[in-house]
Amino acid sequence: MREATQLNHAPKVRTTLLPSGRSMPVLGQGTWRMGEDHARRKAEVAALRLGLDLGMNHIDTAEMYAEGGAEEVVAEAIAEQRADVFVVTKVYPHNATRHGAVEACERSLRRLQTDYIDLYLLHWRADVPLSQTFEAFQSLKESGKIREYGVSNFDVADLEESFGIFGGDEIANNQVLYNLGHRGIEWDLIRWCRARRIPITAYSPIGHNADEQKQILGNRAVKAVALRHGVTAVQIVLAWLMRQPDVVVIPKAVRPEHIRENRAAHDLKLTEREFKELDQAFPPPTRKIPLETS
Ligand code: NAP
């Protein structure tokens, strides 16, 4: 019997509002690198289910991850509780044409074994004109295959341009690299989105590679704050991101102890003094820094 039976009533994480008035859970689960190895599949499905049972009812995936393999892992994890999960997936830029995006979305729906996607994102911007992508997203929305759409890795100039294109002003979310070591978006992007009630989703919240993770988690201030709360450094960096009501965080974890820690970070409150300590260790930007990507 899986743990779910004891955890079914775990409170769900809080939500943030999208411009349409729909809500989006602020703590989700990433899936990059899942679905790559069949031998790990059982553990990955169990990990996502544990997160759902603990109330992290949002899963982030993409057609790119394991070329659809991650979406298949997600399908298995959500099979018995689709309606309770906020599912995000992303279209490859080279598929994001007027017809290509519709076909890519239909393939994602088949792999996810669902008939709708809660939020469909353009993974990053490439050569396809944005007008084509938004036209496809509009038609997917009209047919009920997606409920909301958005973008990923868009800086302010990309968003400004999008808002001048038919359908571009319905962007509901922008998913970007954001963690203690990458605070550039605090200069302008967060404010731009906030003014339009568009939540930011922070990807690679713990660090976008092993070196950055080591630098953040090994930092003296992070460790001191963690010690004071009796929690881990990862929990501090996640709580720091979730200090903002309109920032969504999607850590990827397979190890059960990691998933439990990440869920507990949602309920952790840091003090103003601690935010200042973290600001000293990882200063906020003092000028425009072009959006970085992983
Ligand atoms: P991440 O979530 O910051 O880090 C994942 C790594 O951290 C894994 O090795 C995981 O280990 C470990 N970890 C998780 N929780 C931990 C904990 N409590 N203590 C210690 N280690 C912990 O990095 P990410 O996977 O790059 O980003 C998260 C998600 O964002 C992705 O999975 C993906 O869905 C999305 N993403 C989007 C883009 C984009 O362009 N839109 C780019 C990158 C990522 P275990 O797995 O072993 O538990």
Phi, psi of 212 (to 5 degrees): -65, -40
pLDDT at 294: 81
- Inside any domain, residue 288: no
| CATH number of the domain enclosing 50 | 3.20.20.100
Distance 191 CA to ligand 1 centre (A): 25
**Shortest-distance Cα residue to atom 26 of ligand 1:** 204
Cα 46 to Cα 8, 76, 224, distances in angstroms: 15, 9, 33
**Shortest-distance Cα residue to atom 22 of ligand 1:** 258
Distance 287 CA to ligand 1 centre (A): 28
**Shortest-distance Cα residue to atom 19 of ligand 1:** 258
Residue type, 108: S
Q: Which atom of ligand 1 is nearest to the CA of 205?
A: 3
Mutational pocket test of ligand 1: of 34, 258, 261, the residue with most ligand atoms within 8 Å of the beta carbon: 258
Q: Output the CA torsion sign for 159, 164, 167, 169.
A: positive
Cα separation, 32 vs 18, in Å, equals 24
Residue 254, ligand 1, Cβ within 6 A: yes
**Shortest-distance Cα residue to atom 25 of ligand 1:** 252
- Inside any domain, residue 279: no
Residue 253, ligand 1, Cβ within 6 A: yes
- Inside any domain, residue 216: no
| Token pair 């720091």 in the structure block, residue | 240
Distance 252 CA to ligand 1 centre (A): 4
pLDDT at 5: 43
Contact indicator for 201, 119 with CB cutoff of 8 Å: no
Strand partners, 151: 122, 174
Structure tokens at 210: 């092993």
DSSP letters for the chain: --THHHHTTPPPPPEEE-TTS-EEESB-B--TTTTS-GGGHHHHHHHHHHHHHTT--EEE--TTGGGGHHHHHHHHHHTT-GGG-EEEEEE-GGG-STTHHHHHHHHHHHHHT-S-EEEEEE-S--SS-HHHHHHHHHHHHHTTSEEEEEEES--HHHHHHHHTSTTGGG---EEEE-BTTB-GGGTTHHHHHHHTT--EEEESTT-SSHHHHHHHHT-HHHHHHHHHHTS-HHHHHHHHHTTSTTEEE-----SHHHHHHHHHHTT----HHHHHHHHHHSPPPSS--PPP--
- Inside any domain, residue 30: yes
pLDDT per residue, tens digit, the chain (294 aa), is: 344 444 556 899 999 999 999 999 999 999 999 999 999 999 999 999 999 999 999 999 999 999 999 999 999 999 999 999 999 999 999 999 999 999 999 999 999 999 999 999 999 999 999 999 999 999 999 999 999 999 999 999 999 999 999 999 999 999 999 999 999 999 999 999 999 999 999 999 999 999 999 999 999 999 999 999 999 999 999 999 999 999 999 999 999 999 999 999 999 999 999 999 999 999 999 999 999 998
Question: Whole domain around residue 85: which residue ranges?
Answer: 15-208+245-255
- Inside any domain, residue 6: no
- Inside any domain, residue 134: yes
Residue 30, ligand 1, Cβ within 6 A: yes
- Inside any domain, residue 227: no
Number of domain units in the chain: 1
- Inside any domain, residue 267: no
Q: Which atom of ligand 1 is nearest to the CA of 152?
A: 41
Residue 250, ligand 1, Cβ within 6 A: yes
Contact indicator for 25, 15 with CB cutoff of 8 Å: yes
Residue 204, ligand 1, Cβ within 6 A: yes
Distance 65 CA to ligand 1 centre (A): 13
pLDDT at 81: 97
pLDDT at 2: 45
Residue 60, ligand 1, Cβ within 6 A: yes
Residue 153, ligand 1, Cβ within 6 A: yes
Phi, psi of 176 (to 5 degrees): -140, 165
